[in-house]
């Protein structure tokens, strides 16, 4: 066989071999490229709407990346101006525990902590003004039984107004506070510790909150044992209530301020407290309001491009 035939055969073999070799399956072509460095296009993060039950339990072993995304306005409602807060003490509460929670709401308005709400305006410049008033309270002795559903909570608020026990305040926030013997059918003390929502009433919208007494599940819903005011239930309630009030004002109808994960301003900082100090009884606290120390959760303080958790605006 002459040299020309040998070379022709060799070239044919090499050509066939090259056609049969494919790149490894693990190597993907870059979607975008700039200069010498390939840039891969990431899958878009779709915004998830909040549910009002954004407070993950304290012992969550895999919490979301709460501070990963900035918080954005979604063209919905924000509660501007001052807000009145009304309590519905559901079940059986001691007078001393009621006073602790009442003192918190009576003194938090205009504090540096509550001024964080003023950083959540609408595009036309209207914003909460950091003023909060305690509007009054009533008791409900188990009108819907010891086990509540979400519709039950909304109906407790509506029936309280129908009975004239609290004023029909369109700018009010109505807080149902369940005692330690009250159970819930939708995951309270298991997957969340408080909720906020809106219900229709008399042609308008009622903004309400439900918080169960943390004594029912202290390992999940209380930040510490006995709090700075000597109570597990009332001090723990203040911690949860601080976040739910903030979310109600900045995102009352789930169209206001939240991030891509559906986390509202308080949810992004839940179960974090910043710099703390010891109260007179040795419990941790981080704010002093009126004559009392409290341990409140941090809130998201937005900045131009991002933000951070804090206890002062």
In a domain, 120, yes or no: yes
pLDDT at 40 over 60: no
- The token duo for 42 is 């990431």
pLDDT at 130 over 50: yes
Q: Mean pLDDT in the chain?
A: 86
pLDDT digits 0-9 by tens, 235-292: 999 999 999 999 999 999 999 999 999 999 999 999 999 999 999 999 999 999 999 9
- Per the CB < 8 A criterion, the answer to whether 188 and 153 are in contact is no
**285 CB neighbour count, 10 Å cutoff:** 22
**262 CB neighbour count, 10 Å cutoff:** 15
Residue 46 — very low, low, confident or very high, per pLDDT cuts 50/70/90? low
Beta bridge partners of 178: 90, 212
pLDDT at 42 over 50: no
For residue 84, the SS3 value is strand
Question: What is the average pLDDT across 84-95?
Answer: 98
Residue 52 — very low, low, confident or very high, per pLDDT cuts 50/70/90? very high
Quote the percentage of the chain above a pLDDT of 90: 70
Residue 32 — very low, low, confident or very high, per pLDDT cuts 50/70/90? very low
In a domain, 271, yes or no: yes
Q: Using CA atoms in the order 289, 224, 51, 175, what is the torsion angle rounded to 10 degrees?
A: -50
Q: Report the half-sphere exposure of 282 (CA within 13 A, side-chain side).
A: 2
pLDDT at 156 over 70: yes
In a domain, 64, yes or no: no
In a domain, 250, yes or no: yes
Report the CATH number that the domain containing residue 195 is assigned in CATH: 3.40.390
Question: What is the average pLDDT across 108-125?
Answer: 94
Compute φ and ψ for 66, nearest 5 degrees. -65, -30
Q: How many domains does the chain have?
A: 1
In a domain, 68, yes or no: no
pLDDT at 160 over 90: yes
Question: What is the average pLDDT across 111-129?
Answer: 94
Beta bridge partners of 87: 137, 175
Residue 145 — very low, low, confident or very high, per pLDDT cuts 50/70/90? very high
Alpha-carbon span 69 to 195, nearest angstrom:
22
Return the axis-axis angle of helices 95-108 and 232-250, rounded to nearest 10°.
30
pLDDT of residue 188: 82
In a domain, 283, yes or no: yes
Quote the percentage of the chain above a pLDDT of 70: 84
pLDDT at 183 over 80: yes
Beta bridge partners of 84: 133, 172
pLDDT of residue 256: 96
Q: Which range of residues forms the domain containing residue 249?
A: 80-310
pLDDT of residue 172: 96
Least confident of 49-63, 189-203, 284-298: 49-63
Alpha-carbon span 238 to 243, nearest angstrom:
9
Residue 233 — very low, low, confident or very high, per pLDDT cuts 50/70/90? very high
In a domain, 98, yes or no: yes
pLDDT of residue 95: 98
Report the predicted TM-score, pTM, of the whole model to 2 decimal places. 0.85
- Per the CB < 8 A criterion, the answer to whether 286 and 273 are in contact is yes
In a domain, 45, yes or no: no
Residue 45 — very low, low, confident or very high, per pLDDT cuts 50/70/90? low
Q: Using CA atoms in the order 174, 180, 181, 184, what is the torsion angle rounded to 10 degrees?
A: 60
DSSP strand pairing (284-285 vs 277-278): antiparallel
């Amino acid at each position: 066989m002459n040299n020309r035939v040998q070379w022709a055969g060799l070239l044919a073999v090499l050509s066939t071999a090259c056609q049969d070799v494919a790149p490894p399956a693990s190597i993907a072509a870059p979607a975008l490229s700039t200069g010498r460095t390939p840039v891969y296009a990431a899958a878009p993060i779709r915004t998830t709407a909040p549910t009002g039950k954004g407070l993950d339990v304290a012992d969550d072993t895999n919490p979301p990346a709460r501070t990963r995304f900035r918080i954005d306005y979604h063209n919905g409602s924000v509660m501007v101006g001052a807000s009145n807060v009304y309590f519905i003490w559901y079940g059986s509460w001691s007078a001393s525990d009621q006073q602790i929670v009442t003192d918190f709401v009576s003194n938090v308005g205009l504090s540096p902590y509550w001024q964080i709400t003023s950083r959540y305006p609408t595009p036309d410049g209207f914003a909460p003004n950091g003023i909060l008033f305690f509007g009054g309270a009533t008791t409900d002795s188990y009108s819907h039984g010891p086990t509540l559903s979400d519709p039950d909570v909304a109906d407790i608020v509506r029936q309280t107004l129908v009975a004239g026990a609290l004023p029909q305040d369109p700018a009010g926030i109505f807080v149902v506070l369940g005692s330690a013997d009250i159970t819930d059918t939708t995951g309270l003390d298991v997957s969340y510790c408080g909720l906020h929502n809106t219900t229709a009433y008399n042609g308008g919208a009622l903004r309400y909150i439900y918080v169960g007494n943390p004594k029912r599940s202290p390992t999940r819903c209380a930040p510490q044992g006995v709090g700075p005011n000597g109570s597990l239930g009332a001090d723990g309630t203040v911690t949860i209530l601080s976040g739910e009030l903030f979310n109600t004002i900045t995102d009352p109808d789930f169209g206001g301020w939240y991030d891509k994960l559906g986390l509202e301003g308080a949810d992004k900082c839940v179960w974090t407290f910043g710099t703390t100090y010891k109260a007179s009884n040795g419990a941790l606290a981080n704010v002093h309001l009126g004559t009392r120390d409290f341990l409140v959760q941090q809130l998201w303080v937005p900045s131009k491009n991002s933000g951070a958790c804090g206890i002062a605006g």
